[in-house]
Amino acid sequence: MTVCRFCGIEYEETLPVCPLCNGEEERPVSPADILDISKSENKRQLWELSMVLLISAIIIAFAVDAVFGKGIKWSLYADTSLLFIASILTLTHLSRNKWMIFSSLFVLTVILLFVFSLLTKTHNWFLPLALPLTASLYFLGLAVVFLNSLSRYRGLNLIAVIFFAMALFTLIVEICIDMFNDGLIKLQWSVASAASLSLLALILVFIHYRLKRGRKLDSLFHV
Amino acid sequence: MILRERKEKTIEASDGWIKLDNAAKIYPPVTRGELTGVFRLTAVLNAPVRLSALQQAVDMTYKLFPSFSVELCPGIFWYYLDYNNQKPRILLDEGMQCHAFPIKKKGEVMYRILARQNRISAEFLHIITDGGGAMMFFKMLLNNYGNIVLKTDQTKPLFPDSLIIKPVDDTTDRFRELSRKKFPHPVKLSPAWHIPFTLREKPRFTTMSFSVPANKLSEESKKNDSTVSEFLVSIYLASLQDLRDKRKRGSRFLRVQVPVDLRRRFNKETVRNFSVFVMPELDLRMGHYSFNEIIREVKIAIGLMADDKRLTKIISRNVSKEDNPVIRIIPLFIKGFFLRMAYNRLGISQYSGVLTNMGRIEVTPEGEQILSGMLVVPPPPHSRIKVSCGVASLGNNTIITFGSVTDNNTLERTFVSYLTGRGIPVKLLNFK
């Protein structure tokens, strides 16, 4: 009998490596690995089922519009939206890189809005409204994720950052709408909502860093 | 490698499906993340584990427990167990203990065998069995292992009470047999105090084991005119009281959940879940309790609650919930939501800690040759409970294991200081 110098069990001398831990050559299978395999199998099955349902829905919408609608009209919107959802699901299924998912989501959203603008035949709203709003939304989302990753204790500070991002977004929304409508910026409602959100965010930051340092979201909200 | 390959179906006798027993029904909806509902039994051997012997022992043992070779399937109204006749995996014991099982994966069973150095462990999901049933399997596994290693025959078992010769065909829900209709239900308890420590970063669950001489522990318990279980539960409550006194906030009720094995009490042999919980309590509205007062409270509470009629009361209440026609016809996904809510609001809120004592495990001289200790790791505690405790004794070695999801180990330290303060030597075995 040989005693494995890695996991400490005895095994037959005839075997080249320890069958329990594979020696140094290969990482042994752990309970966590089996759970991961199960999760990835479930994820794949769910993706396959979703694809079947979405493709069926695309075909049905197209067929119904073609037969009963005297031409392809509304189904173009429905099919574009369904394709967008299918692309997102495929992307999240195939890629594990969150930055890759995030940037691809941005591109897909911009393409979706561009296609909608083409379909509506009034695509003058795409460049002044849809593009800057989508870009700012994704940029703010990215900023929230980045700041969150810097934080050691994620608690009320995370909610505060989200509130700050929302405050900025309301300002951007009003600026874009004003520029689109009149070409002049006259900030009104967004200032009030941004001020309220910022005030709330400041209170949350104060509570997080001065009163309850270290409180985590999961312990705070667990039920 | 050979150990990880799934084996073909080898049990011919078992086919079809079985209902989950009353205690198991709560686990599928509430097990998620690190709340795995998985507990572990570990045997510490006198020599390194011999892998080929362990594999043979597993092959011999799993066939005797066909009700363990099942997978969980969702029905429309309830989950059920489908026989798959698979054997448990044998894995290297590394990473987090009591890790979750892939309950949605087909062809998997809800128990596993783990080995490392001189330790053999078995982990079970509470859906298939409780500590008593798992111990029956584990003793039989060690028996077979010991017979192979010592080259003795089956007539010289390692444990005097572990000989199972033919498969245990166990499809009956014993709770249902004992429940009585129109039996009064236990009174609803007010919420108990919970340890306020912050949770550890994931993976949270770690364990800390202490070795204590069983004879010293027994002597000290006798001095206090109590059993070892009552003595340890009293120490647990005293430790909680010390923590509560320092914090001075929250509920004034301290309760420790203690599982009671119903097999011997009701003289029924089963390998499925067959235990209920009793909860000794300290009501701090009446002021601070001295240790002697705590022991008295615990003795009275366990004595009263472990009465057959009172146990039947608890069982009848549990079964009556399941029998409620409205609950029965609610679809599974809605039922899951309500069961989770009930578990949090009516289950977790009622106790401050858990202590499970597997008792003294008797071994034969052959057993002494092979084994030096046995320990039990309770399932990872809920994030509100934070710490749980498992106790097992083999020979003169009692091993107390704390499972925790918090970095703060004040409760464990206070518990140990109560033991050392009474002259009981305590040795830290591992911290994982």
Query: Please, is B293 exposed, middle or buried when counting C-beta atoms within 10 Å of its C-beta (0-12, 13-18, 19+)?
Result: middle
In the prediction, which pLDDT does B324 show? 86
Whether B346 and B314 have beta carbons less than 8 Å apart is answered as no
Q: Do B51 and A28 touch (CB under 8 A)?
A: no
Find, in chain A, the residue whose alpha carbon is nearest to that of B48: A9
Please enumerate, as own/partner, the contacts of A11-15 that have beta carbons within 8 Å and a separation of 24 or more. Answer: A11/B50, A11/B51, A11/B52, A12/B52
SS (H, E, C) chain B: CHHHCCCCCCCCCCCCEEECCCCHHHHHHHCECCECCEEEEEEEECCCCEHHHHHHHHHHHHCCCHHHCEEEEECCCCEEEEECCCCCEEEECCCCCCCCCCCCCCCCCCEEEEEECCEEEEEEECCCCCHHHHHHHHHHHHHHHHHHHHCCCCCCCCCCCCCCCCCCCCCCCHHHHHCCCCCCCCCCCCCCCCCCCCECCCCCCEEEEEEEEHHHHHHHHHHCCCCHHHHHHHHHHHHHHHHHHHHCCCCCEEEEEEEEEHHHHCCCCCCCCCEEEECCEEEHHHCCCCHHHHHHHHHHHHHHHCCHHHHHHHHHHHHHHHHCHHHHHCCHHHHHHHHHHHHHHHHHHHCCEEEEEEEEECCCHHHHHHEEEEEEECCCCCCCCCEEEEEEEECCEEEEEEEECECCCHHHHHHHHHHHCCCCCCEEEEEC
| A184–B contact, CB cutoff 8 A | no
Segment A107-161, tens digit of pLDDT: 999 999 999 988 887 768 889 999 999 999 999 999 998 888 887 777 788 899 9
By Cβ distance, the residue of B52, B92, B384 closest to A7 is: B92
pLDDT at B271 over 70: yes
Angstroms from A27 CA to nearest CA on chain B: 10
Q: Do B92 and A28 touch (CB under 8 A)?
A: yes
Top residue of A2, A22, A25, A35 to mutate, by most chain B CBs within 10 Å, is: A35
SS3 A126: helix
Cα distances (angstroms) measured from residue A105 to each of A7, A133, A149 = 45, 14, 20
Per-residue pLDDT, averaged over B264-291, amounts to 91
Angstroms from A73 CA to nearest CA on chain B: 38
Segment B398-422, tens digit of pLDDT: 999 999 999 999 999 999 999 999 9
pLDDT at A33 over 90: no
Segment A163-178, tens digit of pLDDT: 999 999 999 999 999 9
Angstroms from A75 CA to nearest CA on chain B: 33
By Cβ distance, the residue of A30, A214, A223 closest to B91 is: A30
- DSSP-assigned beta bridge partners for residue A202: none
In the prediction, which pLDDT does B297 show? 93
| A11–B contact, CB cutoff 8 A | yes
Name the token pair of B215.
Answer: 């004879």
Residues on B contacting A at a C-beta cutoff of 8 Å? 1-4, 47-52, 89-96, 99-102, 104-105, 108, 112, 115-118, 123, 198-199, 344, 383-384
Segment A197-207, tens digit of pLDDT: 999 999 998 88
Find, in chain B, the residue whose alpha carbon is nearest to that of A31: B99
| A219–B contact, CB cutoff 8 A | yes
In the prediction, which pLDDT does A216 show? 54
In the prediction, which pLDDT does A212 show? 57
What is the Cβ-side half-sphere exposure of residue A207, based on CA atoms within 13 angstroms? 16
| A15–B contact, CB cutoff 8 A | no
Q: Tell me the pLDDT of chain A averaged across its residues.
A: 86
Q: Do B199 and A32 touch (CB under 8 A)?
A: no
Q: What ipTM was estimated for this complex?
A: 0.73
Residue type, A160: A
